[in-house]
Structure 1
Amino acid sequence: MSETTALTRQAQKERTRQAILDAALELSGTVGFAQVSLRQVTREAGVVPTAFYRHFSSMDDVGLALVGQSFETLRAMIRDAQRDPDTFADIIDASAEILVRVVKQNKAHFGFVARERTSGSPLVREAIQRELELFISELAVMLARLPNIDSWSGEDVKMASGLFVRNMVYRAEQVIGIPDGRTDLEEDIKRKARREMRLIVLGFRDWKS
């Protein structure tokens, strides 16, 4: 087998795998992931069940892969923020802007997490909770560079990170429900998110680990 042929087959395998994930994600937006069947997914993706089993062992396996994709979007958001010097110049305004923009661009994945973290299958729910805890830890590394926090204990920095993440999740769920074109509602969410984050940050100066 030539190298070109091998690369072509690998690319086809990746396209098939992504088609299955895209189909499951779209169907879950209507009925919830726990109600989506393997047969529905393969029909939507245009593949046969045997092709499904070349990539996933079960629908739970698909759910875990969707959790991974969804949180990679969050991690990309943090990486982008770290590369932008304006984020640290005014972390509150920047965070509100980034949150709304990224959620709008990835509504399907954020919607999946919002639905499944409370009502999904136990395996998917647990995976989402683990990813949220990991995301809190990753954000804490970024926050530890901020003034007033750099002398805190690691536990307290993680606590502050958790406050931000819980606020972010709540506001992200609101962004998901905004109809297209309602920039007034987007601005209202940004305003509220900024006020809430500012309230959190005001406590940083007086907190002692």
Structure 2
Amino acid sequence: MADSASTDAAGSHEHGAGAHEDGAGRRDFLILAGGAFGAFAAGASAWPLLDSLNPARDTLAASTTEVDLSPIEEGQAITVKWRGSPVFIRRRTQKEIAEAKAVDPDDLPDPQTDEQRFGSGAREQWLVVVGVCTHLGCIPLGQKGTDNKGEYGGWFCPCHGSHYDISGRIRKGPAPRNLPVPPYAITAENKLIIGVEQPKGGHGGNAA
């Protein structure tokens, strides 16, 4: 009888141990499965987050301004808006280009050659600058034919008397720097895109 009781007790113990191991195994499986699902869910949620950090197409479009240059005649200037700021665009005459190139950059407060600012070839006829005085942010005069263009035939800031030449370079007055040249590209279709860099070997617009 004692042997039978011992045998039953041992069997019960083994059965209990087996059940305990089965339970532990199931718990381990559930933990591993839960961890794997959590990692998958985290990865799945991270993609929309990372993707949201990339600029949307409409955001990229809003950061550029496209202008058809074809209607602009030689000697004519227009003003467009880019990122909330005015941009002066002028189709310069050959005389204006020659005058801009003849200036010795060493004589300028903010030394730059005209070619450094606007390139050469067909591209050099197009002046493209942000129309905000680099002194205190006023809008210089010079876009209209009747405007005071200052002593150097470009732009004149009426706020504190800064004079810019036909290359947009500061020549006289308190402004410390030239009118900024924004990044821009000119396509083969004579479209100006402000806000993107001209690709190397890119088109410079039509001279005609």
Question: TM-score w.r.t. structure 1 length?
Answer: 0.23
> Greater strand percent: which structure?
2
Which structure would you say has the larger RCO, counting Cα contacts within 8 Å and 6 or more residues apart?
1
Task: Indicate the structure (1 or 2) with the bigger Cα radius of gyration.
Answer: 2
TM-score (norm 2): 0.23
